[in-house]
């Protein structure tokens, strides 16, 4: 259990800095005169290398455990935050975003893999729920601290402030012996297998598709909110508060997620949450007052809050035993592919037509993801393979 709380501390530091850096990058780019389309390309730079490296990062995690890839992520994030501080230029933002994303993917895959391996199978949903609550805290802290810091001290000073967070995380990783790598037993050691074999696993494939739709909704909010807020005259602090309200909703729903799953199933809760998020996305571009934006963001957060931890749990559960890290990496490849393409597409669409069609497209995709998970829920199973076999499962959909 001590390892779990140390991992939470590392996550609190790194994710707060990473999420804050995205808001800071968007607002700094606007200050430097960038258009929404340019910001979309800049935002996508966070995910270019993760698309290519996610599966490799999963295999790296299977071989090396948590500590080494987490150090790679912390050090890379620290360097990416210091670059704009020393040279505040739009071109440097592109390089910094690419560096942050490239290193961060090793950390993200490793921490999700490590969380899934702590404790027994019955503890997995609870552990991922606690982790998701922690990430919700970072979604609250990162953007809000960033917004207030920009208004109070400026963009460059905020980069320096955020850089202190991965420095703390790296120190914890270096000093903590309990997070060192413990080799897999020989029978669980990963062999030379193709990624396409994982995609042949139909239950896992459905989770990955639903995850892609979920990530589209998350990107529609996190990418467009700073731009949309700026366009209707909100200050950086107000934008940070709106995004913090979204994060508060993430944390709120995740505190009861384990209870909801216990009374139903992962698939059913996932399906209903995506449906609620779809409804909130439809209404978001119709709202322009600060108070109503807070309310709409909270409802959207309630809908999206269960998605990430449930998709992590289902991906881990449905993966073969020796390839859980690789499956988590594949899930991240899907996420980062969405994060790479969606901001670019959304940036050009919002430049040409405004925010409304972008939010409505996100609503449509969320509804499709909810329908897909509803099909699994109707089968009344928690389909898994060797990695996280749930002995209470009644069957496996095909």
- Asked if the model's pLDDT at residue 143 lies above 90, the reply is no
Residues 6+ apart with CB under 8 A from 34: 42, 90
Domain-embedded: residue 393? no
CA-CA distance, 70 to 268, in Å (whole number)?
Answer: 33
Higher-confidence residue of 333 and 185: namely 333
More reliable by pLDDT, 28 or 197? 28
Establish if 295 belongs to a structural domain.
yes
Read off the CATH number of the domain in which 116 is found: 1.20.1250.20
Q: What value does the mean pLDDT of the chain take?
A: 82
Contact status, residue 326 vs residue 62, Cβ threshold 8 Å: yes
So what's the pLDDT on residue 167?
A: 95
In a domain, 229, yes or no: yes
Helix or strand holding residue 347 (H, E): helix 324-353
Domain that holds residue 21: 2-175+195-387
Please determine, for residue 236, whether its predicted confidence score (pLDDT) is greater than 50.
yes
SS3 145: helix
Report CA dihedral (123, 127, 128, 132) to the nearest 10 degrees: 150
Q: Answer with the residue of higher pLDDT: 349 or 79.
A: 79
54/179: higher pLDDT: 54
Buried b (16+ CB within 10 A) or exposed e, 332-360: bbbbbbbbbbbbbebbbbbeeeebeebbb
Greater model confidence, 180 or 390: 180
Indicate whether 357 belongs to any domain: yes
Q: How far apart are CA 116 and CA 273, in angstroms?
A: 22
d(CA 397, CA 359): 32
Number of domains in the chain: 1
Helix, strand and coil content of the chain, in percent to the nearest 5, comes to 85, 0, 15
pLDDT tens for each residue of 286-302:
888 899 999 999 999 99
Pick the more confident residue, 336 or 95. 95
Instruction: Read off the pLDDT of residues 219-231 as tens digits, 9 standing for 90 and up.
Output: 788 878 888 888 8
Query: Is residue 184 domain-resident?
Result: no
State the pLDDT at residue 162. 95
**Domain contains 394:** no
pTM strictly above 0.75: no
Q: Which two tokens stand for residue 282?
A: 């439809």
Q: What is the pLDDT of residues 155-202, one digit of tens each?
A: 999 999 999 999 999 998 888 765 654 544 444 444 556 677 777 778
């Amino acid at each position: 259990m001590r390892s779990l709380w140390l991992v939470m501390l590392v996550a609190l530091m790194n994710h707060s800095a990473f999420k804050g850096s995205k808001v800071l990058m968007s607002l700094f780019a606007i200050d430097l005169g960038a258009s929404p389309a340019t910001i979309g390309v800049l935002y996508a730079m966070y995910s270019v290398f993760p698309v290519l490296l996610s599966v490799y990062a999963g295999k790296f995690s299977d071989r090396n455990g948590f500590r080494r890839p987490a150090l790679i992520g912390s050090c890379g994030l620290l360097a990416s935050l210091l670059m704009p501080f020393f040279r505040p230029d739009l071109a440097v933002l592109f390089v910094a975003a690419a560096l942050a994303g490239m290193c961060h993917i090793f950390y993200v895959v490793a921490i999700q893999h490590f969380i899934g391996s702590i404790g027994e199978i019955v503890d997995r949903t609870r552990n991922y729920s606690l982790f998701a609550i922690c990430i919700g805290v970072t979604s609250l802290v990162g953007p809000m601290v960033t917004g207030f810091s920009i208004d109070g001290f400026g963009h460059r000073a905020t980069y320096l402030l955020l850089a202190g967070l991965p420095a703390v995380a790296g120190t914890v990783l270096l000093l903590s012996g309990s997070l060192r790598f413990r080799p897999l037993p020989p029978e669980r050691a990963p062999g030379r297998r193709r990624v396409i074999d994982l995609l042949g696993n139909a239950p896992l494939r459905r989770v990955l598709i639903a995850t892609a739709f979920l990530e589209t909704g998350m990107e529609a909010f996190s990418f467009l909110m700073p731009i949309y807020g700026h366009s209707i005259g909100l200050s950086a602090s107000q934008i940070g508060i709106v995004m913090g309200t979204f994060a508060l909703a993430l944390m709120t729903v995740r505190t009861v997620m384990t209870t909801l799953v216990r009374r139903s199933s992962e698939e059913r809760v996932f399906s209903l949450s995506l449906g609620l998020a779809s409804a909130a996305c439809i209404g978001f571009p119709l709202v322009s007052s600060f108070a109503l934006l807070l309310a709409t963001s909270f409802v959207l957060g309630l809908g999206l809050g269960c998605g990430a931890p449930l998709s992590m749990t289902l991906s881990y559960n449905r993966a073969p035993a020796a390839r859980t890290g690789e499956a988590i990496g594949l899930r991240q490849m899907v996420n980062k592919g969405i994060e790479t393409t969606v901001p670019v597409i959304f940036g050009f669409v919002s430049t040409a037509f405004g925010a409304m069609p972008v939010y409505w497209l996100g609503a449509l995709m969320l509804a499709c993801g909810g329908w897909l998970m509803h099909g699994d829920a109707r089968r009344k199973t928690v389909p898994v393979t060797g990695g996280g076999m749930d002995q209470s499962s009644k069957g496996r959909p095909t």
